[in-house]
Chain A
Amino acid sequence: MPLLEVERIHVYYGVIPALMDLSLTVDEGRVVALVGANGAGKSTTLKAIAGVLRPRSGRILFRDRDITRLGADRRVRMGIALVPEGRQIFSTLSVRENLLLGAYHRRDQEVKKDLEWIYSLFPILRERMHQVAGTMSGGEQQMLAFGRALMARPKLLLLDEPSLGLAPLVVREIYQVIERIRDASITIFLVEQNVNMAMHVANYMYVMEAGRLKMEGVPQEVMRDEDIKRAYLGG
């Protein structure tokens, strides 16, 4: 069942086209990856889905509802959470405040329980609970960004380059977390340049080039393509 459907969207930065006629589908319960070179439009795609950017034409459907005109904060309430590129944690706020803001829209009584769940996923965040978030390392900040997004209890988690700028060991740790999130039956839409990592965790893959979709399929299939192999795995 499709959770998210992007239908022929065009996105522009001023007069410069960033996404041309892009369509894709994310099925419920899956991990879908979007790969492509720098500047291909991957982050733009996520921003359009999260509601930070508005498409000039086309539609975005979430659980069969048209969300194209909704603001980012409304989409969070519907169950779409983005872990943005560069993390964008609130660096002057404490770790705990960051996490609580993730649940900003929630009125239910289980926020405390979810906070415990996040601390169990990322024990380091419990240790750093009262620390100002900006003083943590890059990997710790990435975990905080994950935790903050999960506090929204999303149905769809959007991840923008979660491995960017992190040490290989930390990247492996992050991907273990992605698997645990998947096991908690949260649908994941992942943007990655690190195709190797994306391949391992994804059920389905889209490949972008210069603002357009170039290819799609299950990872093994996509990776069999000679062009893709040359472009991403060095031949």
Chain B
Amino acid sequence: MFTGTYVAQQLLNGVVLGSMYALLALGMTVVYGILRLINFAHGALVTVGAFTFFGIFVALGWPFSLALAAALLVGGVMGLLLDLVGYRKLRGGPEVSLLITSLGIYILLENFIKLLATPQPYAFRPPAFLTQLHNVSGVAFRTVDIFIVIVSVLIMVAFAVFVKRTKLGIAMRATAESVEAAQLVGINVNHVVAVAFVLGSAVAAVTGFMWGAKYGQIAYDMGFMAGVKAFVAIVIGGIGSIPGAMIGGFVLGLVETLAVGFLPPGFAEYRDAIVFTLLILVLLFKPTGIMGRKEAV
């Protein structure tokens, strides 16, 4: 039978995975809120961030904090470029061309990384202090697990304060509600959209580092499933809702981990199928998600 320790272990694993989903969902939902774009290229930023950190920390041997800062920076700059080069000209046109462009950008970035780094996966060794093992009454974890949860919560709190309290954050929520009304109060919508891309992409790049540190391996296609799962998290939480995206991320992480942990062993390889079954169920029975409102048509 399942012991209390086993349950606690699974819950912890779920929260760690959920933290990363929540961070990705957060960046995706902010962009969605304004542009009504499901930005599939968001997943590629996970790969970009992981490889940036890998290149600087492992290949060049620079300190951990510098490598992490570089991943953050590269992610932010990439986000800005995506907006300027990829999406800006398409705004005001049909939403589907934005969507297709984001898929195209994902494929472009994935193949570019494949070209640079070769298709083989790399062993990703985080700094020693993160790999230290702990054991609290039978529940085993490494420092990196705690690092992921704490940094995720800090980023989410910072983001909540940003959208709630700062002028730019309030403008971002206003733009998400109505682009036209935002322009009419003097908000430069291009500026707000660029900020949304920069923040979301920088966070995604940091998530890429977490992903690599948690699973010990990175590959050119690691961002694909991460991006898709973040999208599922958004739907679960309620499309367009910022708190919803974060809640959806945690719910998804827990469901995925617990399903694998408590179903008979043969089901473990169906973890993605379980996630997408959950997506279908949400779309069937509660399409507005946990926090979502009905969209005005």
A residues with a Cβ closer than 8 A to B are: 50-52, 71-73, 76-77, 81-82, 84, 88-93, 97, 100-102, 104-105, 148-149, 152
Contact = CB atoms under 8 A, between A and B. Distances in A.
B180 A101 contact: no
A63 B181 CA distance: 24
Contact of B186 (A52, A73, A88, A91): A73
Given A73-B188, A73-B189, A88-B178, A93 B183 contact: no
Contacts of B157: none
Nearest to B296: A91
B185 interface: yes
Given A104-B167, A104-B171, A92 B187 contact: no
Nearest to A72: B183
B170 interface: yes
Given A90-B173, A92-B173, A101 B178 contact: no
B297 to A, nearest CB: 16
24 contacts: A50-B184, A52-B183, A72-B183, A72-B186, A76-B184, A82-B184, A84-B180, A84-B181, A88-B181, A88-B184, A89-B181, A90-B177, A90-B178, A97-B170, A100-B170, A101-B170, A101-B171, A101-B182, A104-B171, A104-B185, A105-B186, A148-B185, A152-B185, A152-B186
Q: How large is the interface on B (under 10, 10 to 19, 20 to 34, 35 or more residues)?
A: 10 to 19
Instruction: Determine chain B's interface SS by DSSP, over half rule.
Output: helix
B278 interface: no
B174 interface: yes
Given A50-B184, A100-B167, 6 more contacts: A73-B189, A88-B178, A90-B177, A92-B173, A97-B173, A101-B174
Contacts of B178: 88, 90
